[in-house]
Structure 1
């Protein structure tokens, strides 16, 4: 089919038809996959709870996982409450320190 020769209204209808067919096939594929999964569950004597708990143990990351905070690598020499991990944008106090001609290494936490 040469699309450049198709009327605009026909193109719109074609797009609608294609979208509808995609939705229909997607639904079929999902139903087919669900049927296969249920067959595997029955074949191996499992239940949904077994599958859910085992998949969590196989490396899926829970949605509520938290990361350990990164430790600070640099600290202000006069104000210990000001620290920086060395990641991301430099804090203003670090920029001021560097602008004053001091070395970043002088701020390192040892």
Structure 2
């Protein structure tokens, strides 16, 4: 569908009205796409014997938090699990000669 609209012949108020119409249509289009995707996901879950909510809840609870293993002696609220990049406070302590055992909780 390719309609050609002569925008140069339109007044400012007509252009603004068209802009609002286009924005509303885009929102409607996106909402319809979300509903289609949700319906497809619900159907796929159903085919496997689940409700979509069950799968989403299972995915959300699958994330576990890891207990902190190290704490800053000067500020015990600053902790690190030992995973990922070392925080700046850990790196600074190590550069001053401390070991991770010195920071262990």
Q: Which range, TM-score by smaller chain?
A: 0.5 to 0.7
Structure 1 residues 11 and 67: alpha-carbon distance in aligned structure 2, compared to 1, 3 A threshold: farther
Alignment of 1:29 onto 2:33: yes
CA distance in 1, matches of 2:38, 2:24: 21
> Cα offset for 1:2?
6.2
Aligned-residue CA RMSD in angstroms? Answer: 3.4
TM-score by length of structure 1 reads 0.50
After superposition, the C-alpha distances for 1:60-98 in whole angstroms (9 at most, x for unaligned) are: x57xx58737522xx6xxxxxxx267737xxxxxxxxxx
Q: Give the number of equivalent residue pairs.
A: 80
Alignment correspondent of 1:87:
88
Partner SS state of residue 88, structure 2: coil
Q: TM-score, normalised by structure 2?
A: 0.52
Q: Which runs of 5+ in 1 are unaligned?
A: 76-82, 89-103
Q: What secondary structure is seen at the aligned counterpart in 2 of 1:71? A: strand
Q: Which has the larger radius of gyration?
A: 1
Higher relative strand content: 2
Deviations 1:11-55 (A, max 9, x none): 201110111101111221111111101211221111245303431
